[in-house]
A = this chain, B = another copy of it.
């Protein structure tokens, strides 16, 4: 007897947020399609950050017929569900945070080209400053701050 693939509560270990994706999509009157399944399969084997371009390539490995517009539209949908969250690299290109539990911003060094995550303590200073001075509620995760790292200026 085959397991209903959309339901993760069949045993004891329903761990991944991806397990609920199909049901959550259908619950909204939306459809669980092969294209969406493919993207979710790709996403669940990665963590951290990915560019949309890389996701498209990985989907195409599994399904040659993958189309960019469909991937972008599905990413929008998954972002509405909170399963991914996009930001922009230093050059404005999209990057996706997968399962953004600990949301964070990025730092980019124009000298050496490296990127770092902004640590929570540092983020807090920025967020607090904008909140207290302007009442502005920052979404740092959407942003990459450019500059020069300690090793690259002097």
Residues of A within 8 A of B (CB): 88, 90-94, 107, 109-110, 119, 121-122, 125-126, 129-130, 133-140, 142-150, 153
Contacts and interface: CB of A to CB of B under 8 A. Distances in A.
Contact of A125 (B110, B126, B140): B126
A141 to B, nearest CB: 9
Contact of A145 (B90, B92, B125, B143): B143
8 contacts: A91-B92, A119-B133, A125-B129, A130-B147, A135-B149, A136-B147, A143-B145, A143-B146
Contacts of A110: 139
A139 B146 CA distance: 5
A123 to B, nearest CB: 9
B136 A130 contact: no
